[in-house]
Chains A and B, each alone.
Chain A
Amino acid sequence: KQEVTQIPAALSVPEGENLVLNCSFTDSAIYNLQWFRQDPGKGLTSLLLIQSSQREQTSGRLNASLDKSSGRSTLYIAASQPGDSATYLCAVRRSGGADGLTFGKGTHLIIQP
């Protein structure tokens, strides 16, 4: 059974810092991996999607890397802003079909002004 772990569970840093959020998964046979952002009481916003054949994806100040063989992904946030405060979730898809996602518990991020 696939298990996804995110470290740290919570993080609070001053504005402007560069951050790294970590995600690990036990079964390396994944199809793709997605990073999401969830604001309190809200749904999920997709940030980045990395296919299993890819090593990284970038969108603005966000960069996500994937090391499938070691079961790890990192989300790098550059020049953090208070608006980045949210819970960041990592999720993996187990197959190439229309399959559901297995989520980690998330990293609760607070950016101090």
Chain B
Amino acid sequence: GAVVSQHPSWVICKSGTSVKIECRSLDFQATTMFWYRQFPKQSLMLMATSNEGSKATYEQGVEKDKFLINHASLTLSTLTVTSAHPEDSSFYICSVHSGTAGKSYNEQFFGPGTRLTVL
């Protein structure tokens, strides 16, 4: 499967600041990447679909002006949490869609996640 990295693995920031999280597909050119959020003891919730060269598609209830997504290349998508607040503290995970070619048909491969703590 695809190898996906995220940076940073954890970050602590002050309330009101912005934080950028990177998601990289190391061995696969990904037209589509996804961003998920996971609160403690909860499941992963899809936030948005990141499409290379076009605007991201956000799930209902996710503020697009707060969670800025940029998918400038086939191997990199970034999520910027703007004016972060304590309630934004969560585990953010990205995934890469494998497409419809090859062995991994329409499969998703996940990064290791980024733990965000907003003080």
Contacts and interface: CB of A to CB of B under 8 A. Distances in A.
A42 B110 CA distance: 10
A44 B91 CA distance: 12
24 contacts: A4-B43, A32-B107, A34-B108, A41-B91, A42-B112, A43-B4, A43-B110, A43-B111, A49-B104, A49-B105, A51-B106, A89-B44, A91-B44, A98-B49, A98-B99, A99-B49, A100-B34, A100-B36, A100-B46, A100-B49, A101-B34, A101-B44, A101-B95, A103-B43
A49 B107 contact: yes
B43 A105 contact: yes
A102 interface: yes
Nearest to A93: B106
A98 B51 CA distance: 9
A102 B43 CA distance: 9
B115 interface: yes
Nearest to A98: B32
Contact of B106 (A36, A42, A96, A104): A96
B110 to A, nearest CB: 4
Contacts of B105: 49, 51
A43 B113 contact: yes
B43 to A, nearest CB: 4
Given A101-B34, A104-B43, 9 more contacts: A31-B106, A32-B107, A41-B91, A43-B4, A44-B44, A44-B110, A49-B105, A51-B105, A100-B49
A110 to B, nearest CB: 16
Give the top 4 A-B pairs by smallest Cβ distance, nearest first.
Answer: A100-B46, A98-B32, A44-B110, A43-B112
Q: What size tier do the contact residues of chain B reach?
A: 20 to 34
A111 B72 CA distance: 43
Interface of B: 1, 4, 6, 31-32, 34, 36, 42-46, 49, 51, 59, 91, 93, 95, 97, 99, 104-113, 115
Nearest to B4: A43
Nearest to B93: A43
A42 B113 contact: yes
Contacts of A34: 107-108
